Amino acid sequence: MRRAVITGTGMHVPPRVVTNADLEKVMDTTAEWIQQRTGIRERHHVDPGTGPADLACEAARRALEMAGLEPDQLDAILVASLSPHHDFPGISAFLQERLGVDNGCPAMDIRCQCTGFIYALQVANLFVASGQYERVLLCGAEVHSTGLDMTTRGRDVAVIFGDGAGAVILEPSPDPDRGVLSVHTHAQGKHARKLWVEAPGSVYAPRISAEMIEEGRHFPYMDGRFVFKHAVSRMPQVVHEALEHNALSVEDVELFLFHQANLRINEAVGQRLGVAPERIYSNIERYGNCSAASIPMLLDECVRAGRLEPGRLVGMAGFGSGFTWGSALLRW
């Protein structure tokens, strides 16, 4: 099989910045408490009428420009997200429309929450490596803000999440030593209710009721301590899995990009791996947790800042609802 390489990256966040001080005005919390607990100083929220397909479109255009491609040259479009633009069809259909792609290429959503980009990268990599497609657009896009309980009742979750999108273009690598080396994904469904949104759901008739809304069952629920415990265990495990698969060591990796769920989680993961902080890039303080968008947003910032020279090894890892977790290794 041939190797797939990332030829373009892009990211986009809505212009409206919501600081910790802004959240102090609508819920019983403090800016210091939020930063100490999560590492977050601010996040971006959409204005009414903007959805994940709109954010994904802007990120995708930047990635296409870097790759030197026009939208109609795409052979497939993948979107990783937990926040649908509408109940159906998927975000990818609306993204295809916004990009003006009318060549009949497939458009598909992958819903694996905060590990969504890693899962989707596995699919995109297989598409290109197998020779089925030549140019694949992969976006991670989230609009959390319109589904959060912005009151004291919901503060444990609401302060964490932000809105944003990141995108990459995958094409066949002209250099067999460069590109995606491997991707590794896992899940443990028995913990699904530890981090979830219960309603609306097709298991209910009607799918949502006034009682559910009154009880807040349409807002995200998270058992924070349980999630923290599993994240700091699973992410180092899956990083080691990728390294062993490729006969590499932690010391070989120049840059690590971890899902931006909580700065304390990533600090603990780094310590368990024995990775110096300067080899772990973070932007959670500016964007919060953007779920499936967080890793491609990190990647784009690093690319545009010149942190990724050809030949450098990049390690990625994520953990999220499901539970899901995964890792990827790339030779830039």
- Indicate left, alpha or beta for 113 from its phi (over 0: left) and psi (-120 to 50: alpha): left
Distance CA 293, CA 143 (A): 10
151: tokens are 């009151």
Distances (CA, A) of 111 to 119, 191, 258, 324: 9, 16, 19, 11
Task: Give me the sign of the Cα torsion angle 280, 82, 44, 70.
Answer: positive
The distance in angstroms from the start CA to the end CA of the chain is 18
Q: Coil, strand or helix: which one is 180?
A: strand
Judge contact between 304 and 296, C-beta under 8 A.
Answer: no
| Residues classed as catalytic | 114, 259, 289
Cis amide bond preceding 89, omega within 30: yes
Is the peptide bond prior to 256 cis by the omega test (within 30 degrees of 0)? Answer: no
**Strands 255-258, 280-281: pairing kind:** parallel
Residue 325 CA to its chain's centroid (Å) = 12
CA 270 vs CA 10, 34, 158, 280, 302: distances in Å: 26, 21, 25, 8, 18
